[in-house]
Structures are given as C-alpha cells and as structure tokens.
C-alpha cells in the first residue's frame, strides 16, 4: 500500500505532465496562466472530488480533457480582468444571448 505522500506525489506528477502538455499545445495557456498555480489549483480540485483510487482510474485523455476545460475557464476569467465595466457589461450581455 502506498503512503499518503506517495499518493499525493503521483497525483501532482500526473497533473504536472498534463498541464505541461496543454501549455505546449495552446500558447494562450502558456502566456496567460501561471503553471505552478494552475497545477496547485487542479490538484486541489481533484483531491476534493476524487479518492486516490478513483483519480488513478481516470484515463490520460479524460484527465487532459478535464484539465483543459478548467484551464480554459481560468483563462476566460483572466481575460475579464482587463475589461472596463462597460466592456464587461457588453461581454456579459453577449454571453446571455448565446
């Protein structure tokens, strides 16, 4: 049986690898998202929602897809930081219409 530290490390390593791949595939991630903070946030999300056993059952493709979606939301939130209140209102209105 693996120790808690080894389990934690295996989760971190898998997520680090996926985040590195996603950042290489999508330059926007690399430019606008902090790697270490993203890994830390994703580790937290997965640890809160999955046991170690369930996390290990997630395929690499599924893990990549899940991380990609969460990173896209993070990127979208970052984009909103630069908008003026008027621009944000226009953006929100456009989203509501979709």
Report, as an integer, the average pLDDT of 38-64. 96
Task: List the single range of 10-14, 24-28, 94-98 with lowest mean pLDDT.
Answer: 94-98
The torsion angles phi and psi of 79, rounded to 5 degrees, stand at -60, -40
Whether this prediction's pTM lies above 0.85 is answered by no
Whole-angstrom distance, CA of residue 32 vs CA of residue 75: 7
Q: Please report the pLDDT score of residue 92 as a whole number.
A: 80
Nearest to 87 by CA among 97, 95, 11: 95
């Amino acid at each position: 049986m693996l120790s808690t530290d080894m389990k934690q490390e295996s989760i971190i390593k898998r997520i680090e690898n996926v985040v590195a791949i996603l950042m290489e595939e999508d330059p926007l991630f690399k430019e606008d998202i902090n790697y270490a903070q993203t890994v830390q946030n994703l580790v937290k999300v997965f640890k809160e929602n999955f046991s170690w056993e369930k996390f290990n059952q997630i395929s690499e493709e599924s893990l990549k897809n899940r991380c990609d979606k969460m990173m896209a939301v993070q990127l979208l939130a970052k984009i909103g930081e630069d908008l003026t209140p008027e621009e944000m209102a226009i953006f929100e209105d456009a989203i509501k219409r979709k």
